Amino acid sequence: MKRISGFLLVGVTVTLGLIAVPAYAESTPMTEAHIERIRDNCVDAQSVLTQLHASDALLRVNRGQLYESISTKLMAPFNSRVALNKYDGSKLIEQSATYERQLDDFRSSYKSYDEAMTKALKINCVNEPVAFYDSVADARTKRQAVHQSTLALQETLQNYKDQFETFAGTIRGKKQ
Amino acid sequence: MSEEQLAADKAHLSKWEQHKFLLMIGFSVVIALFLVGVALALYANSGAAQLDLSRPGYQSVREQAVRNDMFDSFPSTGDLDQQAIEQFRKLYDERAKQATSVDSFGGTVMSDEALSISAPSQ
Protein backbone atom coordinates (compact mmCIF):
# COMPACT_ATOMS: atom_id res chain seq x y z
CA MET A 1 0.00 0.00 0.00
CA LYS A 2 2.83 2.35 0.95
CA ARG A 3 4.54 1.52 -2.34
CA ILE A 4 1.42 2.41 -4.37
CA SER A 5 1.03 5.67 -2.44
CA GLY A 6 4.67 6.45 -3.18
CA PHE A 7 4.18 5.90 -6.94
CA LEU A 8 1.04 8.04 -6.88
CA LEU A 9 2.88 10.83 -5.08
CA VAL A 10 5.71 10.75 -7.62
CA GLY A 11 3.20 10.69 -10.52
CA VAL A 12 1.26 13.66 -9.17
CA THR A 13 4.49 15.60 -8.53
CA VAL A 14 5.77 14.99 -12.09
CA THR A 15 2.39 15.95 -13.61
CA LEU A 16 2.22 19.15 -11.57
CA GLY A 17 5.80 19.93 -12.52
CA LEU A 18 4.96 19.59 -16.23
CA ILE A 19 1.90 21.81 -15.89
CA ALA A 20 3.85 24.42 -13.99
CA VAL A 21 6.48 24.82 -16.77
CA PRO A 22 6.18 28.40 -18.10
CA ALA A 23 4.93 29.07 -21.67
CA TYR A 24 7.71 28.85 -24.23
CA ALA A 25 7.88 30.21 -27.74
CA GLU A 26 10.75 29.09 -29.96
CA SER A 27 12.59 27.88 -26.78
CA THR A 28 12.48 31.37 -25.26
CA PRO A 29 10.39 31.85 -22.14
CA MET A 30 7.48 34.18 -22.67
CA THR A 31 6.36 36.64 -20.06
CA GLU A 32 2.72 37.00 -19.07
CA ALA A 33 2.77 40.57 -20.40
CA HIS A 34 3.94 39.31 -23.79
CA ILE A 35 1.24 36.64 -23.92
CA GLU A 36 -1.34 39.27 -22.97
CA ARG A 37 -0.07 41.56 -25.75
CA ILE A 38 -0.37 38.77 -28.30
CA ARG A 39 -3.89 37.99 -27.08
CA ASP A 40 -4.89 41.68 -27.36
CA ASN A 41 -3.49 42.25 -30.85
CA CYS A 42 -3.73 38.85 -32.49
CA VAL A 43 -7.12 39.35 -34.13
CA ASP A 44 -5.77 42.40 -35.97
CA ALA A 45 -2.58 40.46 -36.74
CA GLN A 46 -4.62 37.61 -38.23
CA SER A 47 -6.51 40.09 -40.38
CA VAL A 48 -3.20 41.51 -41.69
CA LEU A 49 -1.91 37.97 -42.27
CA THR A 50 -5.08 37.01 -44.18
CA GLN A 51 -4.51 39.91 -46.58
CA LEU A 52 -0.83 39.05 -46.87
CA HIS A 53 -1.73 35.42 -47.58
CA ALA A 54 -4.02 36.48 -50.44
CA SER A 55 -1.50 38.90 -51.94
CA ASP A 56 1.27 36.29 -51.62
CA ALA A 57 -0.92 33.77 -53.48
CA LEU A 58 -1.26 36.27 -56.33
CA LEU A 59 2.48 36.93 -56.23
CA ARG A 60 3.14 33.17 -56.33
CA VAL A 61 0.92 32.78 -59.41
CA ASN A 62 2.38 35.76 -61.30
CA ARG A 63 6.01 35.19 -60.31
CA GLY A 64 5.68 31.45 -60.90
CA GLN A 65 4.33 32.02 -64.41
CA LEU A 66 7.10 34.48 -65.16
CA TYR A 67 9.87 32.20 -63.85
CA GLU A 68 8.39 29.22 -65.66
CA SER A 69 7.97 31.10 -68.94
CA ILE A 70 11.65 32.12 -68.86
CA SER A 71 12.58 28.46 -68.61
CA THR A 72 10.11 26.97 -71.08
CA LYS A 73 9.75 29.81 -73.59
CA LEU A 74 13.29 31.21 -73.65
CA MET A 75 16.01 29.03 -72.13
CA ALA A 76 14.81 25.65 -73.44
CA PRO A 77 14.14 26.83 -77.04
CA PHE A 78 17.46 28.71 -77.13
CA ASN A 79 19.40 25.69 -75.84
CA SER A 80 17.68 23.51 -78.39
CA ARG A 81 18.50 25.97 -81.19
CA VAL A 82 22.13 26.07 -80.10
CA ALA A 83 22.26 22.26 -80.25
CA LEU A 84 20.49 22.15 -83.64
CA ASN A 85 23.08 24.55 -85.04
CA LYS A 86 25.83 22.28 -83.66
CA TYR A 87 27.34 24.77 -81.22
CA ASP A 88 28.57 23.88 -77.75
CA GLY A 89 25.89 25.03 -75.34
CA SER A 90 26.88 22.93 -72.34
CA LYS A 91 27.37 25.94 -70.06
CA LEU A 92 23.95 27.29 -71.00
CA ILE A 93 22.36 23.88 -70.37
CA GLU A 94 24.10 23.72 -66.99
CA GLN A 95 22.61 27.08 -66.00
CA SER A 96 19.18 25.99 -67.25
CA ALA A 97 19.35 22.84 -65.16
CA THR A 98 20.29 24.89 -62.08
CA TYR A 99 17.42 27.23 -62.81
CA GLU A 100 14.95 24.31 -63.09
CA ARG A 101 16.16 22.90 -59.77
CA GLN A 102 15.76 26.29 -58.13
CA LEU A 103 12.29 26.61 -59.63
CA ASP A 104 11.36 23.32 -57.96
CA ASP A 105 12.75 24.69 -54.68
CA PHE A 106 10.66 27.82 -55.13
CA ARG A 107 7.51 25.73 -55.65
CA SER A 108 8.12 23.46 -52.68
CA SER A 109 9.21 26.25 -50.33
CA TYR A 110 6.09 28.25 -51.23
CA LYS A 111 3.94 25.17 -50.56
CA SER A 112 5.51 24.80 -47.09
CA TYR A 113 5.01 28.50 -46.42
CA ASP A 114 1.38 28.36 -47.55
CA GLU A 115 0.68 25.41 -45.27
CA ALA A 116 2.37 27.15 -42.31
CA MET A 117 0.43 30.34 -42.94
CA THR A 118 -2.88 28.45 -43.27
CA LYS A 119 -2.12 26.74 -39.95
CA ALA A 120 -1.39 30.09 -38.25
CA LEU A 121 -4.64 31.58 -39.57
CA LYS A 122 -6.70 28.64 -38.32
CA ILE A 123 -5.51 28.96 -34.71
CA ASN A 124 -7.89 30.52 -32.23
CA CYS A 125 -5.31 33.06 -31.14
CA VAL A 126 -7.28 34.43 -28.18
CA ASN A 127 -7.36 30.99 -26.60
CA GLU A 128 -3.93 29.86 -27.81
CA PRO A 129 -1.69 32.96 -28.07
CA VAL A 130 1.59 31.05 -27.67
CA ALA A 131 0.69 28.51 -30.37
CA PHE A 132 -0.30 31.40 -32.63
CA TYR A 133 3.00 33.21 -31.98
CA ASP A 134 4.98 30.05 -32.75
CA SER A 135 2.98 29.42 -35.95
CA VAL A 136 3.59 32.98 -37.14
CA ALA A 137 7.31 32.54 -36.44
CA ASP A 138 7.29 29.28 -38.42
CA ALA A 139 5.42 30.91 -41.34
CA ARG A 140 7.88 33.83 -41.25
CA THR A 141 10.87 31.48 -41.49
CA LYS A 142 9.26 29.66 -44.40
CA ARG A 143 8.43 32.94 -46.15
CA GLN A 144 12.08 33.89 -45.80
CA ALA A 145 12.98 30.58 -47.49
CA VAL A 146 10.69 31.51 -50.40
CA HIS A 147 12.43 34.88 -50.59
CA GLN A 148 15.82 33.15 -50.67
CA SER A 149 14.64 30.89 -53.48
CA THR A 150 13.59 33.94 -55.55
CA LEU A 151 17.04 35.47 -54.96
CA ALA A 152 18.68 32.24 -56.11
CA LEU A 153 16.55 32.27 -59.27
CA GLN A 154 17.50 35.88 -59.96
CA GLU A 155 21.17 35.06 -59.57
CA THR A 156 20.88 32.16 -62.01
CA LEU A 157 19.04 34.41 -64.46
CA GLN A 158 22.07 36.70 -64.38
CA ASN A 159 24.45 33.73 -64.73
CA TYR A 160 22.54 32.48 -67.76
CA LYS A 161 22.69 35.95 -69.26
CA ASP A 162 26.48 36.06 -68.70
CA GLN A 163 26.86 32.65 -70.35
CA PHE A 164 24.67 33.80 -73.22
CA GLU A 165 26.83 36.89 -73.79
CA THR A 166 29.97 34.75 -73.76
CA PHE A 167 28.34 32.38 -76.25
CA ALA A 168 27.16 35.29 -78.45
CA GLY A 169 30.73 36.64 -78.46
CA THR A 170 32.07 33.21 -79.48
CA ILE A 171 29.76 32.75 -82.44
CA ARG A 172 30.28 36.34 -83.57
CA GLY A 173 34.01 35.61 -83.63
CA LYS A 174 33.46 32.37 -85.59
CA LYS A 175 31.25 33.99 -88.22
CA GLN A 176 33.63 36.90 -88.91
CA MET B 1 -46.19 -12.80 -66.09
CA SER B 2 -48.61 -12.81 -63.16
CA GLU B 3 -47.97 -11.44 -59.70
CA GLU B 4 -47.94 -14.96 -58.23
CA GLN B 5 -45.19 -15.99 -60.64
CA LEU B 6 -43.14 -12.93 -59.74
CA ALA B 7 -43.56 -13.68 -56.04
CA ALA B 8 -42.56 -17.31 -56.66
CA ASP B 9 -39.45 -16.21 -58.60
CA LYS B 10 -38.52 -13.80 -55.81
CA ALA B 11 -38.68 -16.59 -53.29
CA HIS B 12 -35.94 -18.42 -55.20
CA LEU B 13 -33.59 -15.42 -55.20
CA SER B 14 -30.94 -14.99 -52.52
CA LYS B 15 -30.92 -11.87 -50.31
CA TRP B 16 -28.09 -10.29 -52.38
CA GLU B 17 -29.91 -10.92 -55.64
CA GLN B 18 -33.09 -9.34 -54.29
CA HIS B 19 -31.25 -6.07 -53.52
CA LYS B 20 -28.98 -5.86 -56.57
CA PHE B 21 -30.10 -2.38 -57.57
CA LEU B 22 -29.59 -0.90 -54.10
CA LEU B 23 -26.18 -2.58 -53.90
CA MET B 24 -25.17 -1.09 -57.23
CA ILE B 25 -26.15 2.39 -56.05
CA GLY B 26 -24.29 1.86 -52.75
CA PHE B 27 -21.12 0.70 -54.50
CA SER B 28 -21.33 3.58 -56.96
CA VAL B 29 -21.51 6.08 -54.09
CA VAL B 30 -18.56 4.42 -52.31
CA ILE B 31 -16.44 4.42 -55.49
CA ALA B 32 -17.38 8.07 -56.19
CA LEU B 33 -16.40 9.07 -52.63
CA PHE B 34 -13.09 7.24 -52.96
CA LEU B 35 -12.29 8.94 -56.27
CA VAL B 36 -13.19 12.36 -54.85
CA GLY B 37 -10.84 11.64 -51.93
CA VAL B 38 -8.02 10.74 -54.32
CA ALA B 39 -8.67 13.87 -56.38
CA LEU B 40 -8.65 16.10 -53.30
CA ALA B 41 -5.44 14.51 -52.03
CA LEU B 42 -3.78 15.13 -55.41
CA TYR B 43 -5.10 18.71 -55.44
CA ALA B 44 -3.69 19.39 -51.98
CA ASN B 45 -0.35 17.59 -52.37
CA SER B 46 0.60 18.51 -55.93
CA GLY B 47 0.79 22.25 -55.20
CA ALA B 48 -2.23 22.97 -57.40
CA ALA B 49 -4.12 24.29 -54.38
CA GLN B 50 -1.54 27.05 -53.95
CA LEU B 51 -2.14 28.23 -57.52
CA ASP B 52 -5.90 28.11 -57.31
CA LEU B 53 -7.13 31.67 -56.92
CA SER B 54 -10.75 30.54 -57.21
CA ARG B 55 -10.62 29.46 -53.56
CA PRO B 56 -12.65 31.49 -51.08
CA GLY B 57 -10.69 34.46 -49.74
CA TYR B 58 -8.90 35.21 -53.00
CA GLN B 59 -11.67 37.19 -54.73
CA SER B 60 -9.84 40.47 -54.15
CA VAL B 61 -6.70 39.37 -56.02
CA ARG B 62 -8.17 37.02 -58.63
CA GLU B 63 -8.53 39.73 -61.30
CA GLN B 64 -4.87 40.70 -61.02
CA ALA B 65 -3.49 37.34 -62.14
CA VAL B 66 -1.48 37.62 -65.36
CA ARG B 67 -2.40 35.35 -68.27
CA ASN B 68 0.41 33.00 -69.23
CA ASP B 69 -0.13 33.38 -73.00
CA MET B 70 0.93 37.04 -72.80
CA PHE B 71 4.59 35.97 -72.98
CA ASP B 72 6.34 35.64 -76.35
CA SER B 73 8.50 32.59 -76.85
CA PHE B 74 11.78 32.26 -78.73
CA PRO B 75 11.58 29.91 -81.77
CA SER B 76 13.47 26.68 -81.13
CA THR B 77 14.34 26.10 -84.81
CA GLY B 78 16.19 28.13 -87.43
CA ASP B 79 19.65 29.56 -87.98
CA LEU B 80 21.54 31.06 -85.07
CA ASP B 81 22.59 34.29 -86.76
CA GLN B 82 23.09 37.79 -85.37
CA GLN B 83 19.41 38.58 -85.84
CA ALA B 84 18.36 35.55 -83.75
CA ILE B 85 20.88 36.49 -81.05
CA GLU B 86 19.49 40.02 -80.94
CA GLN B 87 15.92 38.71 -80.78
CA PHE B 88 16.77 36.41 -77.88
CA ARG B 89 18.68 39.16 -76.05
CA LYS B 90 15.69 41.51 -76.33
CA LEU B 91 13.19 38.91 -75.10
CA TYR B 92 15.44 37.68 -72.30
CA ASP B 93 16.37 41.14 -71.01
CA GLU B 94 12.73 42.16 -70.95
CA ARG B 95 11.67 39.05 -69.00
CA ALA B 96 14.69 39.09 -66.67
CA LYS B 97 13.99 42.73 -65.84
CA GLN B 98 10.43 41.82 -64.86
CA ALA B 99 11.69 38.93 -62.73
CA THR B 100 14.26 40.96 -60.85
CA SER B 101 12.42 44.27 -60.50
CA VAL B 102 10.24 43.19 -57.55
CA ASP B 103 11.59 42.08 -54.19
CA SER B 104 9.21 39.12 -53.82
CA PHE B 105 8.35 37.73 -50.38
CA GLY B 106 10.88 39.98 -48.70
CA GLY B 107 10.69 42.78 -46.23
CA THR B 108 9.60 42.96 -42.65
CA VAL B 109 5.88 42.71 -43.29
CA MET B 110 5.62 39.63 -41.05
CA SER B 111 7.81 40.88 -38.23
CA ASP B 112 6.53 40.83 -34.65
CA GLU B 113 6.66 44.63 -34.61
CA ALA B 114 4.59 44.94 -37.81
CA LEU B 115 1.98 42.58 -36.36
CA SER B 116 2.14 44.23 -32.90
CA ILE B 117 2.89 40.93 -31.17
CA SER B 118 6.46 41.67 -30.08
CA ALA B 119 7.49 41.44 -26.44
CA PRO B 120 6.60 44.64 -24.57
CA SER B 121 9.63 46.79 -23.70
CA GLN B 122 10.56 46.72 -20.04
pLDDT at B53 over 50: yes
Q: Domain for residue A7, yes or no?
A: no
Q: Strand pairing partners for A25? A: A28
Q: Domain for residue A23, yes or no?
A: no
Q: Domain for residue A111, yes or no?
A: yes
Q: Which helix (H) or strand (E) holds A101?
A: helix A90-122
State the nearest Cα–Cα gap between A163 and chain B, in angstroms: 12
Q: Domain for residue A120, yes or no?
A: yes
State the nearest Cα–Cα gap between A51 and chain B, in angstroms: 9
In this structure, are residues B50 and A129 in contact, taking their beta carbons and an 8 Å threshold? no
CB contact under 8 A, A37 and B53: no
Q: What is the pLDDT of residue B17?
A: 80
| CA-based nearest residue in chain B for residue A79 | B76
Tally of domains in chain A: 1
- Other beta carbons less than 10 A from residue A7's beta carbon: 10
Q: What is the mean pLDDT of residues B2-26?
A: 84
Q: Domain for residue A6, yes or no?
A: no
pLDDT digits (tens, 9 = 90+) for B58-69: 877 887 887 766
State pTM to two decimals: 0.78
In this structure, are residues A69 and B68 in contact, taking their beta carbons and an 8 Å threshold? yes
**Domain carrying residue A82:** 29-175
pLDDT band at A57 (very low <50, low <70, confident <90, very high): very high
Q: How many angstroms separate the Cα of A66 from the Cα of each of A47, A62, A82, A85, B113?
A: 29, 6, 23, 27, 32
Q: What is the pLDDT of residue B63?
A: 79
Q: What is the mean pLDDT of residues A157-176?
A: 87
Question: Residue A79's domain is classified under what CATH number?
Answer: 1.20.120
Q: What is the pLDDT of residue B121?
A: 77
Q: Domain for residue A11, yes or no?
A: no
Percent of chain B with pLDDT over 90: 36
Q: Domain for residue A102, yes or no?
A: yes
Percent of chain A with pLDDT over 70: 82
Q: What is the ipTM metric for this complex?
A: 0.76
Q: DSSP letter for A124, please.
A: -
Q: Is B57 left (phi over 0), alpha (psi -120 to 50) or beta?
A: left
Q: What is the mean pLDDT of residues B47-52?
A: 84
Q: Domain for residue A171, yes or no?
A: yes
Q: What is the pLDDT of residue B8?
A: 81
pLDDT band at A26 (very low <50, low <70, confident <90, very high): low
pLDDT at A175 over 80: no
